[in-house]
Amino acid sequence: MPNPSSTSIPDWAWPRLATGRDLGPVEAASFIEWRYYAILSPAFHGIVGLALVNPERRFGAIAEGGLLLIIAGVLGRPTAEALPDDAATLCWMHLFPTDACNLDDPTRGSLTAGDAECCIALAHDGPASARIRIESGAGLRLDLEHAGLAGTALLPADGTDLRDIPLGRWLGANWRVDCPSPVATTTGRIELDTGFVDRLPARPGADPSFASPPLKARVGAGAGYFEWRHASGYYEHSWGVRPLPLHGWDFLFVPDARRGQTAVLQTYRGSRALRYLDLCWQQDGNTRQHRFGADQLTLTWAESAADALLGVRRPLVRRIEAAGDGLRFELTGRVLGQVPLLRRHRLAVRHFFISEEIGIADWTLTDQGGRVLAAAERQPCGGELAHFRLRAPRP
């Protein structure tokens, strides 16, 4: 177990920061490592997320620190084409203190954490394969098996911001996006007890966690068990120092495990290096990959709406076009619903929001002769929008 006062950042993450210098107190406080396991199934369309933030727990009045566990999404989706207004939505967060965590034990990337309220065991069998078990004494249990498809791991991408200007050392950011599993199969289950959902607020805003009235009603009627087998999913691993100067992000994943294909959009505001589109598809019996850079792609929000809870305009329809190297890609993604990930307890995150998206997408990849190489229609997808906002709306 690492000593939080000396080396809270896990050994397997520290060398990859590539900062070329020791981290000072402010930089250590702004360190974030993000792991993001997504499940796109009718039983559960959402994420299991882990964020190691401010591991040395510095500047407590401004920024919280520890390992933040998130389970967020929609349970029991009836179809891939529509998300009803009365969706059964869950958002649950729990913050472990850093000294309650065992990192890289027994293997690199694995962890266990536990306190009086909750425990988690995460085992990584290589970068693209994981098993997760979560239990809360209040009445939540989750089991997840995640297996990335062979040959689909994406090349990592590094981005820096403001490094070349005066004060850049203190204001800039260093961020790496690694996606060893952009398309995967996932199998698992979630069990919710009536007492667990009853204790959560019915809507987002005042508290980070909530359970929508339809979910409360469903679990109260004895239908609190949700199971999926061989569903599509993905896993992203990102980390760095002071990502907030990158002003947020807008990304999208459209995995299809049955066809062995996916489209992955990454955009981080303020960074050209972290603005790209990755594709994986099957052609002539082989897995093919291609990355479109920032100069080759266009992202537009064809439709958007004001969101009073988030205090910003958020997209309802995304359109992505990319062309280059003899390939052309077009995508239309529809955001059917969203789960706000909000934490108001500290100044550092009060004016920063994250919106987890539930959506579907249509896309087509063609060659220079117009031949369709790969395509998807009404494919369930996941994404996130996050950035700074001038005001934090009242609940």
Structure tokens that stand for 147 in this block:
């297996």
245-294 pLDDT tens trace:
557 899 999 999 999 999 999 998 878 899 999 999 999 999 999 999 99
CA angle 209, 215, 220 (to 5 degrees): 110
Asked if 316 and 360 count as a contact pair (C-beta separation under 8 A), the reply is: no
4-34 pLDDT tens trace:
222 333 443 433 333 444 566 777 777 888 9
DSSP, collapsed to helix, strand or coil, labels residue 5 as: helix
63-102 pLDDT tens trace:
788 999 999 999 997 656 666 667 999 999 999 998 899 8
Task: Report the mean per-residue pLDDT for the chain.
Answer: 87
Whether the CA torsion 380, 359, 392, 211 is positive or negative: it is negative
Structure tokens that stand for 59 in this block:
């500047």
The pLDDT > 90 percentage for the chain reads 64
pLDDT band at 197 (very low <50, low <70, confident <90, very high): very high
Q: Measured between alpha carbons, how far is 395 from 392 in angstroms, rounded to an integer?
A: 9
213 vs 165, which has greater pLDDT?
Answer: 213
* Cβ contacts of 224 within 8 Å, gap of 6 or more: 191, 192, 193, 194, 197, 218
Asked if 256 and 183 count as a contact pair (C-beta separation under 8 A), the reply is: yes
DSSP, collapsed to helix, strand or coil, labels residue 198 as: helix
pLDDT band at 110 (very low <50, low <70, confident <90, very high): confident
Q: Is the pLDDT of residue 222 over 90?
A: yes
Please confirm whether the linkage preceding 2 is cis (ω < 30° from 0): no
